[in-house]
Amino acid sequence: MSRVQRITVLGATGSIGLSTLDVIARHPDRYETFALSGYSRLDELLALCLKHAPVFAVVPDEAAAATLRAGLDAGGSRTEVLTGERGLCAVAADPQVDAVMAAIVGAAGLRPTLAAVQAGKKVLLANKEALVMSGALFMEAVRRNNAVLLPIDSEHNAIFQCLPGDYARGLDRVGVRRILLTASGGPFRQTPSAELERVTPEQACAHPNWSMGRKISVDSASMMNKGLELIEACWLFDAPPSRVEVVVHPQSVIHSLVDYVDGSVLAQLGNPDMRTPIANALAWPERIDSGVPPLDLFAIARLDFEAPDERRFPCLRLAREAAEAGNSAPAVLNAANEIAVDAFLRGRIRFPEIASMIGQVLEREPVVALDSLDAVFAADQRARELAGEWLTRHGR
Ligand code: NDP
Ligand code: MG
């Protein structure tokens, strides 16, 4: 490789952002940070700027910018501070940038991620919600702008590694029968339905295998995360939902599998540490050290598999139905889920009500075609309003 690659990390203060910076810091000969963004954790963002010395830092507004600038000045840093979505889009699309890690959580990540795509960047996609909301437009933008889209989600990164290089020709042409998407089952895999009524946000966020942000942790507990990932897989690998099967695998050692027509099934294994898919995508098609210790199969000793229970985890069924309905349904599902998860984390609704609320929003919102980004955000907004009405109707 000829020169040091300049990386923008959107969502640098989050779980994926920090893992990305850990990998980058191991390879100063290959990578340097161009821009880092944060939202509420300004102290962390300041510390990251002082450590990694990016050209730009991005915060939500002028008040946050003033706070960050004061800290940067005191630390003798020359990092320049930008604000808001415009700032995020600017550092995602800057001509000096080689790759963008899209690790903002939720719909807030869509425009900046698309800005990176439209600028034809190498885009490392962690922000699955962006693809779920606007899959058709997003993939079309990838093709039109010759962007290189590399999946960070561990399952999708595993599938990417198990597929041949020319899989974009079509799954049938490369002999793929099914994609097997593994799921840990989350912290409530064995919790009886009746007890799900009483689980707390802290229990939901205590994932058995992965350490992640709070929103995705709740998604993992409800299995909506697997539902979003099912939709994500359909877009990334041009697969109909019927070709993607969810397999619960509690150890999270196999990160997903590809089943070929000749009976071969290829799997990618590794310790559950996001630095592996991050390093894989950063260096692709090369391989670099990620800091993840080697897999100890003797310590793991066994790998288990079971079918998902869509009765206890109706979010998975709702997501599959939304995937099949296509058009605006996944955007509506995603927006209703964001409101539901936020309400659950604030103690306003009980855990099973996440699925009830999303189901009712999906029933009330007609499925429409999404032919523009405005249409995507309009569907997102309507779903948020319906979810808000659900909360009011239920006195929350
Ligand atoms: P975190 O909550 O840990 O981090 C989210 C990041 O987004 C933080 O930097 C946060 O800033 C920033 N952010 C939050 N809200 C906004 C907003 N409105 N505008 C701009 N920035 C915002 O989440 P994770 O790192 O766990 O997840 C990030 C994405 O990656 C999600 O889409 C998730 O689904 C996906 N993902 C995560 C995995 C994981 O292991 N964590 C695995 C696979 C996918 P601040 O913290 O300063 O408020
Ligand atoms: Mg995942």
Q: Which residues are annotated as a binding site for 1-deoxy-D-xylulose 5-phosphate?
A: 128, 154-155, 184, 207, 220, 225-226, 229
Question: In a structure prediction context, what are the per-residue pLDDT tens digits for the chain, which is 396 residues long?
Answer: 569 999 999 999 999 999 999 999 999 999 999 999 999 999 999 999 999 999 999 999 999 999 999 999 999 999 999 999 999 999 999 999 999 999 999 999 999 999 999 999 999 999 999 999 999 999 999 999 999 999 999 999 999 999 999 999 999 999 999 999 999 999 999 999 999 999 999 999 999 898 899 999 999 999 999 999 999 999 999 999 999 999 999 999 999 999 999 999 999 999 999 999 999 999 999 999 999 999 999 999 999 999 999 999 999 999 999 999 999 999 999 999 999 999 999 999 999 999 999 999 999 999 999 999 999 999 999 999 999 999 999 999
State in Å: Cα 216 to ligand 2 middle: 9
pLDDT of 123: 98
Contact 242, 145 (CB under 8 A): no
Ligand 1 contact via 224 beta carbon (within 6 Å): no
pLDDT of 171: 98
Distance CA 234, CA 225 (A): 14
Testing ligand 1's pocket by substitution, the residue of 43, 68, 214, 216 carrying the most ligand atoms inside 8 A of its CB is 216
Q: Which residues are annotated as a binding site for NADPH?
A: 13-16, 127, 129, 213
Ligand 1 contact via 308 beta carbon (within 6 Å): no
State in Å: Cα 297 to ligand 1 middle: 31
pLDDT of 300: 96
State in Å: Cα 106 to ligand 1 middle: 7
pLDDT of 45: 98
pTM value? 0.98
State in Å: Cα 213 to ligand 1 middle: 6
Ligand 1 contact via 153 beta carbon (within 6 Å): yes
Looking at all shown ligands, the one closest to residue 210's CA atom is 1
pLDDT of 2: 65
User: Can 5-151 and 326-396 be said to share one CATH topology?
Assistant: no
Ligand 1 contact via 176 beta carbon (within 6 Å): no
State in Å: Cα 158 to ligand 2 middle: 10
State in Å: Cα 16 to ligand 2 middle: 11
Distance CA 250, CA 247 (A): 10
5-151: CATH superfamily: NAD(P)-binding Rossmann-like Domain (3.40.50.720)
Ligand 1 contact via 10 beta carbon (within 6 Å): no
Ligand 1 contact via 213 beta carbon (within 6 Å): yes
State in Å: Cα 14 to ligand 1 middle: 5
pLDDT of 186: 96
> Which of these, 24, 238, 282, lies nearest to 150 by C-alpha position?
282
The b/e string for 387-396 (b: 16+ C-beta within 10 A; e otherwise) is beebbeeeee
Q: Which residues are annotated as a binding site?
A: 13-16, 127-129, 153-155, 184, 207, 213, 220, 225-226, 229
The domain defined by 326-396 folds into: Rna Polymerase Sigma Factor; Chain: A (1.10.1740)
Ligand 1 contact via 125 beta carbon (within 6 Å): no
pLDDT of 210: 86
Beta-strand relationship, 56-59 and 148-151: unpaired
Q: What does the domain layout of the chain look like in residue ranges? A: 5-151, 153-310, 326-396
Percent of the chain with pLDDT over 70: 99
Rounded to a whole number of angstroms, the distance between the first and last alpha carbons of the chain is 56
Looking at all shown ligands, the one closest to residue 57's CA atom is 1
